Amino acid sequence: MTTVNTQPADIVWGARNIGIAIGRTEKATFAMLETGKVPGARKIAGRWAFTPAVFFAKFSEATA
């Protein structure tokens, strides 16, 4: 699987790239996106956008 290097201010576009960033398949990621289970993701002009910093911060809060 390919990895995507992201910086905190980066935005990842599209279900395929979001899946790569969170370690899931495109199909699984799309299902998660459609059901609102990906913190930091939203649909903008019909396209999924994702902020990794928000996603990973959510998990840091859960473990603190």
Q: Where are the domains of the chain?
A: 12-63
The DSSP code for 38 is: S
CA gap 10, 51 in Å, rounded: 6
End-to-end Cα distance, the chain:
30
| pLDDT 10s digits, 7-62 | 545 899 999 999 999 999 999 999 999 999 999 999 999 999 999 999 989 878 76
The token duo for 62 is 């859960």
The pLDDT confidence band at residue 64, using thresholds 50, 70 and 90, is low
pTM summary value: 0.78
